[in-house]
Copies of this chain bind each other. A is one copy, B any other.
């Protein structure tokens, strides 16, 4: 039986070795899993990005969130160019292991537009409305 099936039947407090779980993660054909970043104290959903085995390993080892950039095809240490890092507070896998939830402490804006989070496009009837303001001009953010 796979690890996630085993975990399903566990009572609270029961556990398996992390190495065993990592060995059975159901990576997609590109070797990636989606990772949701949530601000640990306020509960805001900040962004969604992707991790490969290496970025997940680095995140767990260093406590600083590292993704895999699909556009750049490279490790993406969040904040490396903007200074807006994510400190890992907690890392969770969902019931079938194909999604990661990162509880993080986000310095400043998570979004490359300079907004606090990426989900500023809200559907309102037959319109899509921008309802969050830019906190730091992206030109400022990426000049650092």
Residue-by-residue, is A1-42 near B (CB-CB < 8 Å gives 1, otherwise 0)?
001100110111111111101000000000000101010001
The reply to whether B118 and A94 form a contact with Cβ atoms under 8 Å apart is yes
User: Is A44 located at the chain interface by the 8 A CB criterion?
Assistant: yes
Residue-by-residue, is A31-69 near B (CB-CB < 8 Å gives 1, otherwise 0)?
000101010001111011000000000001000000000
The reply to whether B12 and A128 form a contact with Cβ atoms under 8 Å apart is no
The reply to whether A13 and B95 form a contact with Cβ atoms under 8 Å apart is no
The reply to whether A129 and B15 form a contact with Cβ atoms under 8 Å apart is yes
> Assuming A34-B48, A60-B123, A121-B21, is B93 touching A16 (CB within 8 A)?
no
User: Is A111 located at the chain interface by the 8 A CB criterion?
Assistant: yes
User: Is A75 located at the chain interface by the 8 A CB criterion?
Assistant: no
CB distance from A113 to the nearest CB of B (A): 5
Contacts of A121 in B (CB 8 A): 4, 7, 21, 92-95, 97
Contacts of A129 in B (CB 8 A): 13-15
> Assuming A43-B43, A128-B21, is B8 touching A113 (CB within 8 A)?
yes
The reply to whether B130 and A14 form a contact with Cβ atoms under 8 Å apart is yes
Taken together as a complex, chains A and B put the C-alpha atoms of A95 and B101 apart, in Å, by 19
User: Is A73 located at the chain interface by the 8 A CB criterion?
Assistant: no
> Assuming A34-B34, A119-B94, A122-B92, is B15 touching A130 (CB within 8 A)?
yes
